[in-house]
Chains A and B, each alone.
Chain A
């Protein structure tokens, strides 16, 4: 098509022409305008998922930097780097390159610590975001698929966190790898095959670092990027949920548009999240592998805790009774298989199937775009609190040794205390939450000035009581939602130019 056929110039000038050129080829105008008009509800809790998204972006960016220096190899070398205490020590290339990128690569330590901190923030933000979605019922129809994608992302992020933590091949991460090997071994029938095949032989094998590297930087991130994309596409297609409020219905969304308001806030927020991560990286040391030293299978450190999101998995291993089943020529290491495979399996299965489980109980098949207040769904809220209490107590149980030392009580008392609390605290928190929710349902009127009742007597002698009108100053002041200004009516160019002024103030 020759450009001569184009006679008219856009009424928005040269930039308008450029945009038209783009639309000729990519068809961006219709979808672009719709996207810029997308309304984002204005509630702080919708920001939690954003934190997760932005820390994921930080993880990808800093991670690419790390791959430029890290060597995924278990081959032993003699360390000759700039960290004096380790000079002359035989270490794996993975460990040597991790120490070198911390000390010899400029800004390397900052990038490594940003990566690690961003991971801890990432998983934390996912969990809190998930709690928000759970307690407000945002997972209900039509959003069950997105909930499922979200839980998959949580599982993958925990798994990838563990894989990444294993890569430096330091004393602590190596011990984690050994535990992972033993957990694989514990799976009935296929366990020893799974373990030796993944590690390339009996522990430590020769393959595990390079394999985990590929999983950590390629396979799992690729899946996660795909799932995050699907998560966001579904979010745009189905539009946001929103809390109940003035003018908010199942059929609309009230808030601020993508451009320019949400875009500005989100851009700023990306910087805020990255800034906090960078400050943490600069000021708070994390995973000082040079202090742990290289991994040697016969050495171990004391009172080392894994990253926080692995804590509950370690806790359940600690407090599980020493059961095993070995009466028929085979062994089922129940002391490992149940806590390390079955319990997390059950927890994640409940999480993934929750929309279906709840729908089974409520027999609710309606579409839901308006969110619940947690207090209005006492049973769901109580279950969620119970589950969180269970996981938190398991997390606490992962530091029995430290707690016993700190409180000067015997490890035995601590162990039994945790065994009891892991069961008891969720059992207690369920009815307590249930009661609190039911009480809170009546909190809507609390703190408000009492409205006088007007008693009237009709001609027939019947009495009627009606509450008086709200006094000035009482009641909830929320602006009525306006439709987004259209700015443009294609048949009215004058109004269109006037509309552009809004953005320039």
Chain B
């Protein structure tokens, strides 16, 4: 034990041996050494970070050297505060947040007399000022809100599918009747739209071959499935995710987002999950040269539900 540790330093009733002041008063040397070691290696790690950056080492080495440096330095400084500084507990009195009674009264008097008294005396002016501010607020909302973007108009209800649209895959190749084996599935777009945002987001359609003979998925759709081909919108009627998973055995399309399932042999009817509406079906026909084409657009909006949808 060195003499230093036993030298009492007197300050207003608190000495170095006071447990409030010095948790490790009996042996601060050891903690000091530990902290110094941690800080030293922390600094070393920062230097290593510099080297790693300069030499363009792998990204993980940057994170590790920087992180290690900060953890070691942080440990050192925290431990210094925790073990080597006055420990307390110290106490401080709270001050009332609330003001004194006179201050409150004078504030209330100013609020009420100046505002209600002076302003309230000119009711017409006050009313006009208030109305002016209100109208200004509404007027200001026009550029702020209305200018944000176009009105929806028909954009949510229509697609680019027209009568006679060729079905093309993502590379733009038109699908012919012999291209897809039974059980096969391909994502198609109306020809000319496979590279557009709207084509990708709205027109995307899955073409599935269920059989070799014509397929009828619902009464009234007798002509929609020539040569075993059926086509459904790929946009999930729940939240618009691409309905990208096809379970071949069950003939079910599954949305990977929230697991809605749609039976393709049954008009895209939702059999499971949160989607309440069937997948819209695209009516198809095979033209004289063997290309698969659409008889027309979808008979209902594709994708998630919205107010204007009937």
Footprint of B on A, CB under 8 Å? 37-39, 42, 106-107, 109-110, 113-114, 142, 175, 178-179, 181-183, 185-193, 195-207, 237-239, 247, 250-257, 260-265, 267-283, 296-304, 314, 317-324, 326, 329-333, 335-336, 339, 369, 400-401, 411-412, 415, 478-479, 481-487, 495, 498-499, 501-502, 505
Contact = CB atoms under 8 A, between A and B. Distances in A.
A200 B86 contact: no
Interface string B45-87: 0000000010010011111111111111111111111101111
Contacts of A304: 256
Given A110-B63, A203-B240, A281-B63, 20 more contacts: A106-B53, A182-B238, A191-B306, A204-B197, A238-B97, A251-B93, A252-B93, A255-B88, A260-B85, A261-B87, A268-B76, A271-B74, A272-B75, A272-B78, A282-B63, A298-B200, A330-B307, A335-B276, A335-B305, A411-B259
Interface stretch (B132-140, B143-151, B213-221, B289-297): B143-151
The list of the 3 closest CB pairs from A to B, nearest first, reads A282-B63, A264-B81, A271-B74
A169 to B, nearest CB: 12
Given A269-B78, A276-B71, A296-B200, A331 B307 contact: yes
9 contacts: A42-B88, A110-B63, A182-B303, A238-B97, A335-B276, A411-B259, A484-B91, A495-B12, A499-B12
Nearest to B170: A298
Contacts of B277: 324
B92 interface: yes
B100 to A, nearest CB: 16
B308 interface: yes
A412 B156 CA distance: 32
Interface stretch (B115-123, B176-184, B266-274): B266-274
A50 to B, nearest CB: 11
A412 B76 CA distance: 54
Given A336-B305, A485-B11, A279 B71 contact: yes
B interface bracket (residues with beta carbon within 8 Å of A):
35 or more
B62 A282 contact: yes
Contacts of A206: 197
B241 interface: yes
B242 interface: yes
Nearest to A202: B155
B9 A501 contact: yes
Q: Which of A201, A237, A498 has the most CB of B within 10 A?
A: A201
Interface in B102-160: 145-146, 148-152, 155-156
B305 A268 contact: no
Nearest to B79: A268
Nearest to A498: B11
B163 interface: no
B45 to A, nearest CB: 9
Contacts of B257: 175, 179, 300
B152 A196 contact: yes
A364 B138 CA distance: 41
A177 to B, nearest CB: 10
A277 B67 contact: yes
A263 B92 contact: no
Interface in B1-49: 9-12, 14, 16, 19-22, 28
B201 A203 contact: yes
Given A268-B80, A279-B67, A201 B274 contact: no
Contacts of A479: 19-20, 88-89
B11 A502 contact: yes
Contacts of A274: 67, 70, 74
B286 interface: no
Contacts of B146: 197
A481 B152 contact: no
Contact of B202 (A106, A197, A202, A296): A202
B244 interface: yes
Given A197-B149, A201-B150, A282 B241 contact: no
A282 B155 contact: no
A331 B77 CA distance: 61
Given A181-B240, A322-B274, A401-B259, A239 B94 contact: yes
A336 B310 CA distance: 17
Contacts of B260: 322
A297 B53 CA distance: 38
Contact of B187 (A142, A281, A298): A298
